[in-house]
Amino acid sequence: MMRDEKLYKTAKEQLDAYIRDRGMRESSSRNIILGRICQLRQPFTASQLEEYCADAHLSRATFYNALNLFISAQIVKPYDRGYGQTAAEYELNTSVSRSHMQLVCRKCGRTASFYDQVISRMVAEHKYTNFNMQNYTLVVYGECKVCRRMPDKKRK
């Protein structure tokens, strides 16, 4: 499964639970917009997202209703860029920070994503000199569980 699909699956489950609890009906345009948010994988303003969904030909009302619903459902959360922020930005609640933290095994190349709220907050709140951070990648190198268990032939 591709990362975007995984994100979408998680976000969609959140959305489904939210609308089911409120007796609302599923909407295909809402699902399209959610899919696009998952593809973006970075903070966005409402108008950037609207532009990114332009080819889906959704009405402005549909678009903004969906975005507001995602915010109420906490699928999308406000993104605080801090200094230099000009318009309200949002990000997928489960995605951005998670998708940018990765463990890589030096021996077999196996990768796994991880998430740490403390690190995520630290990077986001760090004061960068003459630099406006957009997103980041954190790669942690090491040895995976499988490789650790395997007897190393080079060792005596």
Contacts with Zn ion by CB under 5 A lie at 105, 107-108, 110, 144, 147
- How far apart are CB 146 and Zn ion at their closest, in Å? 5
d(CA 100, CA 6): 14
Instruction: Quickly count: other Cβ atoms within 10 Å of residue 82's Cβ.
Output: 13
Q: In this complex, which beta carbon is closest to Zn ion, that of residue 77 or of residue 110? A: 110
- How far apart are CB 99 and Zn ion at their closest, in Å? 21
Q: In this complex, which beta carbon is closest to Zn ion, that of residue 20 or of residue 107? A: 107
Q: In this complex, which beta carbon is closest to Zn ion, that of residue 107 or of residue 121? A: 107
d(CA 34, CA 85): 24
Residue 56 token pair? 């889906």
Q: Name the CA dihedral angle for 139, 115, 9, 68, rounded to a multiple of 10 degrees.
A: -120
Task: Compute the chain's Rg from CA coordinates.
Answer: 19
- How far apart are CB 154 and Zn ion at their closest, in Å? 15
Q: In this complex, which beta carbon is closest to Zn ion, that of residue 73 or of residue 147? A: 147
- How far apart are CB 1 and Zn ion at their closest, in Å? 21
